[in-house]
Chains A and B, each alone.
Chain A
Amino acid sequence: MNRRKNVATFVLLAIAIPFVVIVGALVFKERYYAFVSLCVAFLSCIPLFYAFERRESSSKELAVLAVMIAISVCGRFIFSFLPGFKPVTAITVICAVYLGKEAGFVVGSLSAVVSNFYFGQGPWTPFQMFAWGFLGFIAGLLCSPLKKSRAALCIYGAFAGIAFSLLMDVWATLWADGAFNLQRYAALAVSAIPLTVEYVVSNVIFLLLLSNPIGEKLERIKNKYGLFAV
C-alpha cells in the first residue's frame, strides 16, 4: 500500500510536471510561464491529496479536520478588515505539528479553497492552496523541534510569512507580465514589504497566542479518542 502510494506520487511528479513544462513551452509562447506555474502549483498538490484519499481515516478524524478548516476560515473572516493579518498559516502550522504533516497539508490547502468560496475564487486559488498546503506539510516534517521550543515556532512563523509573500509575488508577476520579469518581481517584492511584515507579525502573534491552547485541545482529543495515530 505504502509502496504503491510512493510510486504513484513519484510517477506523477516525474512525468506530469516535465510534460507540462515541455508542452507549455511548445504551445503557449507568451503565456508560457503563467500556464506552467498554474499547472505546477496544481499538480504538486495532487500526490498529497491522492495519498490522503487513499489513507484509511475514520469519520472522527475527518470531522476534526473539517472543524480546523472552519476555524481558520472564520479567523480569516474576523480579521478580513486587515488584508494581510490572517490566522490561516498559524492554524495550519499548529494542525501540522499536533496532527501530522498530511493533516497540515489538507487543512492549509482546503482553507484556501473554502475561504475563497466567500472571498472569491480566481486563478490565485491554486497558488494559495500550494503555499498554505506546503507550509503546513513542512511544519509537519519539523514537528518535534516546533513542538518543543517556542523560539523555533516563532522562527518558522516568520519564515512562513516571508515565503508566502514571496510566492504570491511570483504569482502577481507572472500574471501581470506573462513572463517572469525580474525587475518587476523586485519592484513588487519591495512594494509588498509592509504586507510581508504584516504576514510575519501576524503569524508570530497568532502562533504564540494559539499554539498552546489549541495544541492542548488537539492533544487531548487525540489521546481521548485515539485519532491520528501514526
Chain B
Amino acid sequence: MNGFEYFHPTALALYFASVLFITMFLSNPFLNVAALVGAFVFYAKTKKGICLVKETGFSFLLFVLIAITNPLFSHKGATVLFFFNNNPITLESILYGLNNAVMLTAVIYWFKCLNLVLTSDKLLYLLGNASPKIALLISSALRFIPLLKSQGERIKASQITMGLYASSAWTDKLKGTLRVCSALITWSLENAIDTGSSMKARGYGLKPRTHYSLYRFTRRDALMMVLVAALDIFVIFAFCAQWLEFSFYPLVSYVCSLSALVAFALLCLLPLIIEIKEDLMWKYCKSRI
C-alpha cells in the first residue's frame, strides 16, 4: 500500500500548508465549501465508525453556534429580515456567519486530517532540518511522557507496599498524590541528567554527525509537489486577478471563475483520489494472482 500518508513529509507539509492557507485566508465561500467537503470526505474515509459520528455531532454544534452568533453582533447589510431586540437581523450577516462557520469547520477538519497523516515523527523530521535543538527537545519530551507515567505508577505501588497508602479522606489522597509527584520529579530530573551524560558520551553536538532519516524523496513526491504548487499558483493568481471576488455587504455580490474553483476542488480531493487509486490498484493486483 502506498496511500497518501506514505508521501515524503516535505510533500505532505506543502500540501497541508497550501490547503490551509487558501482556506483560512482567501475567504471565498465557494472555496470554503470545497475545502470542507474535501476534508470531511478524506477524514471519513480514514476514520470510520462511531468515533466519526460523535465528532461530526460536536463540530456540527460548533458550526451552528458560530453561524447564528454573527447576525447578533453584526447589523450590516441591506436586506433586513426581522428585528430582534430592536436590532435588525439581515440576510447578509446570516450568510456571512454561515461562511465563517464553513471556513472554521473546514480548517478544523483539515487539522484533524493533518493530525492523522502528518504524525509527530514526520513533523519532527521536518523541524529537525530547521532547528535540530528544538526538534530534539520535542522528541525527548514526547519520550519522557510515557516514561513519567510508568515511573509514577511504580512509585505509587512502592509507596503502598511501604504502608503509605491513602485512606478515603481526600486530604490524605491529595497528600499521597503530592508525595508521589515529588518523588517523581526528583527521579525524572536525575534521570534527565543521566540521559544528558549518556548523550554526551555518545557524541551529541560533535561536528561530523549525520542524521538517520527514514524518508526517501522519490519521483512520486516530486510529481505531487509540482502538481500542488501548480494548483496553488493558479488559485492564488485567480485571487489576485480578482476572479474570486465575493462581498457580503451591503448586498451579496460575487464573481466566481469556474476554473479556479475546479483547481481548488481538485487540490482538496487529491488525498481521496490517491487513496482510491491505491485501493483499486491493490484490488487489481490481488485479482491477478
- A: residues with CB less than 8 A from B are 27-31, 34-35, 38, 49, 52-53, 57-67, 69-71, 73-74, 106, 110, 113-114, 117, 120-123, 175-178, 181, 183-184, 187, 209, 213-214, 217-218, 221, 225
Q: How far is the CB of A216 from chain B (nearest CB, A)?
A: 10
- Contact residues in B for A181 (Cβ distance below 8 Å): 73-74
Of A63, A67, A122, A213, which one neighbours B111 at CB under 8 angstroms? A122
Contact A63 B195, beta carbon cutoff 8 Å: yes
Contact A74 B149, beta carbon cutoff 8 Å: yes
Of A35, A62, A120, A176, which one neighbours B133 at CB under 8 angstroms? A62
- Contact residues in A for B66 (Cβ distance below 8 Å): 176
Q: How far is the CB of A10 from chain B (nearest CB, A)?
A: 20
B212 at the interface (CB under 8 A from A): no
Of A31, A59, A113, A114, which one neighbours B205 at CB under 8 angstroms? A59
Contact A123 B24, beta carbon cutoff 8 Å: yes
Interface size on B, residues (CB 8 A): 51
- Contact residues in A for B74 (Cβ distance below 8 Å): 177, 181
CA distance A219 to B74 in the complex (A): 54
CA distance A166 to B47 in the complex (A): 35
CA distance A28 to B149 in the complex (A): 46
Contact A62 B141, beta carbon cutoff 8 Å: no
B213 at the interface (CB under 8 A from A): no
If over half of A's interface residues share one DSSP class (helix, strand or loop), that class is named, otherwise mixed; here it is helix
- Residue from B112, B196, B205 whose CB has the most chain A CB atoms within 10 Å: B196
Contact code string B174-201 (vs A, CB < 8 Å = 1, else 0)? 0000100010011011111101110110
- Residue from A30, A31, A121 whose CB has the most chain B CB atoms within 10 Å: A30
Contact code string B94-132 (vs A, CB < 8 Å = 1, else 0)? 000000100010011001101100001000000000011
CA distance A37 to B112 in the complex (A): 22
Contact A213 B182, beta carbon cutoff 8 Å: yes
Of A64, A66, A178, A184, which one neighbours B27 at CB under 8 angstroms? A178
B145 at the interface (CB under 8 A from A): yes
CA distance A106 to B141 in the complex (A): 12
A66-B144, A217-B185 given; A120·B73 CB < 8 A: no
11 pairs from A and B in contact (CB 8 Å cutoff): A28-B25, A53-B132, A58-B196, A58-B200, A66-B140, A69-B141, A120-B115, A176-B70, A176-B104, A181-B74, A221-B189
B2 at the interface (CB under 8 A from A): no
CA distance A117 to B145 in the complex (A): 12
Contact A67 B188, beta carbon cutoff 8 Å: yes
- Contact residues in B for A31 (Cβ distance below 8 Å): 24-27
- Contact residues in A for B186 (Cβ distance below 8 Å): 217
Contact A70 B204, beta carbon cutoff 8 Å: no
CA distance A110 to B144 in the complex (A): 14
B142 at the interface (CB under 8 A from A): yes
CA distance A184 to B200 in the complex (A): 53
Of B104, B111, B133, B145, which one neighbours A73 at CB under 8 angstroms? B145
